[in-house]
Chains A and B, each alone.
Chain A
Amino acid sequence: MADIKSTTGEPQRLQLLRVLGPAHIWALGVGIVLVGEYMGWNFSIGKGGMIAGLVACWVAGLLYTCVAMIDSEVTSTVAAAGGQYAQAKHIVGPLMAFNVGLFLVMAYTMLEAGNAITIGYLLDTVAGLQGHSGLNQQPFIILAVMFLAWLNYRGVLATLNFNLVITGIAFLAIVILFVVVQLGASNVPLDFSAVTTDPLPYGWMGIIASLHFGLWYYLGIEGTCQAAEEVRSPARSLPYGTMAGIMTLLIAATMTWYVCSGLIPWEYLGQAGTPLFDAARVTGSSGLMVLLFIGTIFSTLASANGCINDASRAWFSMGRDRYLPIWFGAVHPVYRTPYRSIVFLVPIALIFALGAPLDQVVTFSILSGLLGYTFMTFNMVMFRNKWPLGSIKRGYVHPMHPLPTIVLLILCASAYFAVFLGYGTQLIAMVGFYIIASLWFHFRRYQYVKRGDQFTMPWPKPQGY
């Protein structure tokens, strides 16, 4: 895989070994997003009913297809690591980069809080099943966040090799649940009568409202694009791998929807904390319950661990670039981790994990992600205008420009409207937060930014400059 010996003599860029094929891209996309199947998506059913949840799942799939296509092109050109944050620095400017950095930190930190809530909720449920109902979830939430933050602080290396297969187990658990239920091993038969008796309880508006949580199925699939410079043939592998990933997730999401909607009444499913585990409970099979319990715990812990890592590094990068106080840019002398950023973000995650319901935390994460996708639309237009095709080498050129951009913008606008319908206060609060942060950056912080360091790509001067 990433063997240094194989790089010797390679005329390609450092650390960007062109060894990946479409299958790797597929695995990367599916692996990252898996936690979305275990919690959060089901709130879309609460917003609009069973049919609306399914439509939201497919429409969100289209949105993410556009995101993947657009991100692939820009990432295959912006060699600098750092993802959208680096793109914003090069293509739009410091204020946008500051905001994109904040989007990343908030999206990851809220997802971490959501994972912690799910762990607490799941343990409460299991304790209830054991006859100890009324378990206080808060110590477990704090313990989960603190433990994972400690792991990140210490930069714990190479422990517990079996962890590597946890994503595989979590994915397999969904497939096993589906197969077992299909074979009729469930105590309760699949019941889709609500599709005909109560198809759209809140009308067509319910479908739009549910779009908001439909995003949760795929949040993070754009991570496939970070491999743009490591694939053997970006123009072939990226679209193949990403589209195959989207299709797999569409199938897995539909499968999850099918099993959960068939086993659990939609009114309950729409507010469940751990829908797949609840579906396993309904089957009455202890084996399935244990399997889905393990799957949920594994996927949420792995996701929260990754979130702490990524959020702290995004915060660290902003500190190093002087977008935030340089104090956050410190690295631990022994563990080589961004320890101040890790510690600083712990209480923020805990405040949301302990003080906000899961659906609101998920909403905050989705909103930050959504703002990032909206950035992609005008980032793409500016990119094509400033550096048209042929002016710089692109690893991948997405087809039908500007159609994917327009589709993405329309879907983002619909998703904002959907969020406004159910969580208008949160939407306004979040946008207000970003506006205040932007004003602080513009009038106060920008004077400290090292402007000369921002643009380092060997690109020609952009058109019009």
Chain B
Amino acid sequence: MTTSFALLILSMAACAWLALMGIREHRDAMACRHRLLDEAVSLLFEAEITIGPDQFPIATGRIADGRRVKIELIGDSMITRRLPQLWLRVTLYDSGTYRRPLIGALARPTGGEYYSLVHDMREWMAPPKTGTSMLMRGDGSVTPWQAERVLGHFSTLFADPQVKEAVISPNGVRIMRQAAQGERAAHLFLRQSRFVIASVPVEDISTAIAMAGTLAEVLPESELAPVTEAA
């Protein structure tokens, strides 16, 4: 009886200790997560960092020419037989709404990309030949001239294997790049998503912003006269 009672006390103490450790480690992990975009502040004017519902930071601000930019991080562990990914999403807003169509491409699609805009576009288009699997879609209003121009740019853009998604829309453009990959052992044995970076390097963020800036120039407002130019 005494042994059983001692065992019970020991088990309860062990469980309580494990729970405390778990809470502490989780709190530390969340604190690390909140700091992931700290380096983005140096790149933006009027920079502001907020914390999203998934506890990843969201940085907003303006780039040098005054356009608004939103930088987000998305944890993705939805795909079986692939390590978890941390995606860096940069959305560059135009100052107004342009007559650009909605068009985008997604690299290595699996169908499980819940964060992708491309899956929701209704018209399937022939993707650029990049040597990897691609999905390219639009809203149905893309003219052949526009498609050709975007295709040419996407071929160059997706030559970078870290680029996951690129979208052009009437309101702006969006680029998604790999920010980090989950730790292998933690995922294979325990299916955990641990990203071993303290913060996303400033070079990666500036590269993504530069890519978004270039993407916004592919279909500039001044050249949107597709019928006459295509002829």
From B96-104, B109-117, B145-153, the one touching the partner chain is B109-117
Compute how far the CA of A309 lies from the CA of B77 in the bound complex, rounded to whole angstroms.
Answer: 10
- Complex contact B80–A32 (CB within 8 A): no
| Given A12-B161, A80-B108: A3 in contact with B196 (beta carbons within 8 A) | yes
Residue of B nearest to A331 (CB): B114
**Judging by beta carbons under 8 Å apart, are B114 and A320 in contact?**
yes
Determine the main DSSP class of A at the interface with B: loop
**Minimum C-beta distance from A426 to chain B (A):** 26
- CB pair A334–B80 under 8 Å, yes or no, is no
Partner of B134, one of A83, A166, A330, A458: A458
Are A82 and B110 also in contact (CB < 8 A) when A306-B190, A336-B77 are?
yes
Per-position binary interface string of chain A over residues 149-175, scored 1 when its CB falls under 8 Å from any chain B CB and 0 otherwise:
000100111111101101100000000
Contacts of B190 in A (CB 8 A): 163-164, 302, 305-306
Q: How many residues of A contact B (CB 8 A)?
A: 67
Within 8 A of A (CB), among B180-211: 180-186, 188-194, 196-197, 201, 204
Whether the pair A164, B185 counts as a contact (CB closer than 8 A) is yes
Q: Is the beta-carbon distance between A81 and B4 smaller than 8 angstroms?
A: no
Instruction: Report the bound CA distance from A14 to B106 in whole Å.
Output: 13
Most B-side CB within 10 Å, residue of A11, A157, A226, A334: A157
B55-102 interface with A by 8 A CB criterion: 74-83, 85
Bound form: Cα–Cα A7–B178 in Å: 10
Contacts of B185 in A (CB 8 A): 1, 164
- Distance in angstroms between the alpha carbons of A15 and B195 in the assembled complex: 13
Evaluate contact between B193 and A155: CB separation under 8 angstroms.
Answer: yes
Q: Which residues on B sit within 8 Å (CB–CB) of A331?
A: 78, 114
Binding site for B on A (CB under 8 A): 1-5, 7-8, 10-15, 17, 28, 31-32, 79-83, 85-86, 104, 130-132, 152, 155-161, 163-164, 166-167, 223, 226, 302, 305-306, 309-310, 313-314, 316-317, 320-321, 329-331, 333-338, 452-453, 456-458
Some 28 contacts from A to B, beta carbons below 8 A apart, are A2-B83, A2-B180, A4-B178, A4-B179, A4-B197, A4-B201, A7-B181, A8-B162, A12-B161, A14-B107, A17-B181, A81-B81, A82-B81, A155-B193, A156-B192, A157-B29, A158-B29, A158-B192, A159-B25, A160-B21, A164-B189, A306-B189, A316-B112, A320-B111, A329-B112, A337-B77, A456-B109, A456-B133
Q: Given contacts A156-B22, A226-B81, A456-B109, could you give 8 more A-B pairs where the C-beta distance is less than 8 Å?
A: A82-B79, A82-B110, A104-B80, A158-B194, A160-B25, A313-B77, A334-B53, A457-B133
